[in-house]
A and B are shown apart, each in its own frame.
Chain A
């Protein structure tokens, strides 16, 4: 058996967040995150990447709301493969801008995609083919990036198409509503490119609101969108997607995104924000304790 897949064997994969990140993510890895678009963004895992000082990562995702911006500002990232990087509620990502425009804290290579081409790149990897063809974005400057795109002729009709190169993440990190200890995961709500990324990646790490018995999973197998055979680690991380929403569990904490926008406007303010919310707190439990009870009550949904 390929040693890389040893951790996918049917076994208890529950780990603390710090161990899962330490075991599965290495400097220089390509990491897919924020795959559902604005929901289920694995902020707890992203913050642990920052806490462990991971370096030279390539981030992959359609959009990530502010998680990519935080990782870029913390100096973890050398390359981004994405369709959109910013703050959905507020607009531009200040750290993303500083990195691209001024090389602060370090230069950043950006490979622009559209949402469609990004999911096609992951789908190609998930299917084990080198590219998938599409008609999208012809005449757009996006497809001039030959790292990701080439013009090809349809072998049947000679029609001109764009080949989207497969993107194989070293690791996909996904936040889900529930999983069993073997990594069989139920997720619901809008799915974005989550399933494609899980099937595309070499390693998969889940953070979840609830760890459930196998019987809960097999009672609704159509909802098992990520089977445990793909998964290497399961982390019980309730509220692990805050401030993004989790259908059935948490509303979006819009104020938090707006406050981050202000506190990331200047480099020094961002570093103070990073210290306060990431590096000077030991773990997600401390993060949760730091959020006011009023905020948690306001965001909590009745379990659906």
Chain B
């Protein structure tokens, strides 16, 4: 049994599978928000969502939201606190998983959302904090060569720095990026902190990935194909992803 699906849908499905039941998840907007709703409906019913504006939820919002501060994200919330409270949860090590994205990423999973090729981007928001503290982060990005640079021109959100034990040396308590979910595949990180291809989405090739990555990419020995979204996953994604 198979159903056709979009790139966006397989990215959401792959992200949702990274959420484990019982985890406390720092949820972002757009794709991670849908991934969180799908995971809660499917395999992580007791996961808790934390939003950087201060909102804590144990159920997904019942109406579509564009920002985390839209009233439907407050209705039925467990708690409405503030930045200091949720950032303290992060710093205290109480957040299992955080989702972040960026305009540029490099081979060690550092992200740039501040300044690239002369373009002033909006900045960190809470991304640098999530990258510093979450026990692990999952990065979601479109896979384009201009975004996958050997070294980011500005390091907004720290990944593994320049590799190896950099995070420990620099004093970052969180675990760093565990996965990168792109429009072409899913990537993990080696013990040295370097990004490595783990699976290709159906229909994308190694050549596509290499052509869109600005450094000689490590390829896992057992690289496979990203599991296509099940019919159940697709139905849930389409139910929750109403804003596209």
- A residues near B (Cβ < 8 Å) are 36-39, 62-63, 65, 82-86, 88-89, 91-93, 96-97, 100-101, 110, 112-116, 118-120, 123, 134-142, 159-161, 188-196, 244-245, 247-248, 251-252, 254, 301
Return the contact of A36 from the options B53, B124, B132 (Cβ within 8 A).
Answer: B53
B71: contacting residue among A62, A86, A301, CB under 8 A = A301
Q: Does B52 lie within 8 Å of A191, measured CB to CB?
A: no
Q: Is B164 engaged at the interface, CB distance under 8 Å to the other chain?
A: no
Give CA–CA (A159, B173) in the complex, Å. 12
B residues near A248, Cβ cutoff 8 Å: 71
Chain A residues within an 8 Å CB radius of B173: 135
Q: A115-B83, A247-B71 are in contact. Are A138 and B172 (CB under 8 A)?
A: yes
Contact B133 A136 (CB under 8 A): yes
Residues in chain A near residue B167, CB distance under 8 A: 139
Contact A119 to B91, CB < 8 A, known contacts A136-B133, A189-B69? no
A83 touches B132 (CB 8 A): no
Q: Cβ of A191 and Cβ of B122 under 8 Å apart?
A: no
B54 x A139 contact (CB < 8 A): no
Q: Which of A110, A118, A160, A254 contacts B66 (CB 8 A)?
A: A254
Q: How far is the CA of A8 from the CA of B125 in the complex (A)?
A: 33
The answer to whether B122 and A189 touch across the interface, beta carbons within 8 angstroms, is: no
Pairs A–B under 8 Å by Cβ, sample size 11: A38-B70, A88-B66, A97-B120, A119-B84, A134-B91, A189-B80, A191-B80, A192-B82, A193-B82, A193-B84, A247-B71
Complex interface: chain B residues within 8 A of A134 (CB)? 91
Q: Given A137-B129, A137-B132, verify A84-B158 contact (CB < 8 Å).
A: no
Instruction: Please name all residues of chain A whose beta carbon is closer than 8 Å to the beta carbon of B182 when the two chains form the complex.
Output: none
Please, how many angstroms separate the alpha-carbon atoms of A267 and B131 in the complex? 35
| Contact residue among A39, A83, A97, A195 (Cβ-Cβ distance under 8 Å from B125) | A83
> B196: CB under 8 A from chain A?
no
Q: How far is the CB of B234 from chain A (nearest CB, A)?
A: 26
Query: Does the CB pair A192–B74 fall under 8 Å?
Result: no
Q: Is B107 an interface residue, CB under 8 A from the partner? A: no
Q: Looking at the complex, which one of A101, A113, A191, A252 makes contact with B119 (CB distance below 8 Å)? A: A101
Contact segment of B135-143, B149-157, B224-232 = B149-157
* Cβ–Cβ < 8 Å partners of A118 in chain B: 83
Binary flags per residue of B56-93, CB closer than 8 Å to A gives 1, else 0: 00000000001111110010000011111001001100
In the complex, given contacts A137-B129, A191-B82, what are 18 additional A-B residue pairs having Cβ atoms less than 8 angstroms apart? A37-B52, A37-B83, A38-B53, A39-B53, A83-B123, A85-B122, A85-B123, A112-B123, A112-B124, A115-B87, A119-B84, A135-B132, A135-B171, A138-B170, A139-B167, A141-B154, A189-B71, A190-B68
B166 interface hit (Cβ, 8 Å): yes
